[in-house]
Amino acid sequence: MDSEFKLVEKEEVVNFNFPKEEVKLSDSEKKTLKAQLDRANTLGNAAHHKVKVYFEDAESKKVIYTTIWGVTESHILLKQNVFIPIQRIIKLEI
């Protein structure tokens, strides 16, 4: 699965176009992702712990290795006010 994802830098994310549609995840995968986002946010703020965020923009599947500094109802916040919509996240590796 990882080979289909292009590794990108967080500074590139601001140039990506994110569709409004959700990526296809089962209810179980959505529940797991929510728990992982909360854990990654806690680890990011407490220990500056980095995670791999797998997501899909309008062009392709991508992965970023970064610290998650905040989680809202609709987005994750990275450094430098970079946001990724949660509905476009496929999975996390903590």
Q: What is the pLDDT along the chain (94 residues), one digit of tens a residue?
A: 578 999 999 999 999 999 999 999 999 999 999 999 999 999 999 999 999 999 999 999 999 999 999 999 999 999 999 999 999 999 999 9
Neighbours of 24 (CB within 10 A): 8
Residues 6+ apart with CB under 8 A from 88: 18, 19, 22, 23, 55, 56, 57
Element (H, E) at 40: helix 27-47
